[in-house]
Chains A and B, each alone.
Chain A
Amino acid sequence: GIQVEQSPPDLILQEGANSTLRCNFSDSVNNLQWFHQNPWGQLINLFYIPSGTKQNGRLSATTVATERYSLLYISSSQTTDSGVYFCAVFLFRAGTALIFGKGTTLSVSS
């Protein structure tokens, strides 16, 4: 099945710093979503980005489908950015349920 690897596993930042989270996947995919899981466990959609680049405020994401990776950029980090960031993918021929990586745990301190 598809393998999804995220790096780094843990990241500690001071407020105001920038960061890049990476997601590698082992096969061509039809869907890629980035999520933020807040400390209360809620999975919040950040981006639907099977290819290309998108931006939403301080967050942006780029997926290079041909090279099988996606990057999530967080600029000017805030304490509210803390939590776990998940990358999840699916490939139509393997079904449409999302396959998640293990996540990157981000801690932002003031």
Chain B
Amino acid sequence: EAGVAQSPRYKIIEKRQSVAFWCNPISGHATLYWYQQILGQGPKLLIQFQNNGVVDDSQLPKDRFSAERLKGVDSTLKIQPAKLEDSAVYLCASSAVAGGPGGIQYFGAGTRLSVL
């Protein structure tokens, strides 16, 4: 079974530029999460999708971050314009359902973003 795919693996941009990350969840997984992991900390939720609808985006900095999950499969996360403090690893996770034994979350390898 293929895991969660993310691209690119690394990205270096200058502040005020824009950047986009892509995630393809495990086939059949209805729930998709984007997490941000700053160096030395645990991942923190940015946004959660159930199929193609947003369940929780309360911690997404909406003035600069946006995300979509068209057709309930792939998802993209965009930052525009980037700030220095956006340097982090962006992790995508998926689960078959939201919660319970079927709600085990599986993570992709992440995209490491450096903003200069």
Contacts and interface: CB of A to CB of B under 8 A. Distances in A.
A34 B106 CA distance: 11
Interface residues of A, number: 23
A103 B105 CA distance: 17
A43 interface: yes
B105 A41 contact: no
Contacts of B100: 30-31
Contact size class for B?
A: 20 to 34
B103 A96 contact: yes
B89 A97 contact: no
9 contacts: A30-B100, A33-B104, A41-B112, A43-B43, A43-B110, A96-B98, A97-B35, A98-B43, A103-B42
Interface of B: 31, 33, 35, 40-45, 48, 55-56, 89, 91, 93, 95, 98-101, 103-107, 109-110, 112
Interface of A: 4, 30-31, 33, 35, 40-43, 45, 48, 86, 88, 90, 92, 95-98, 100-103
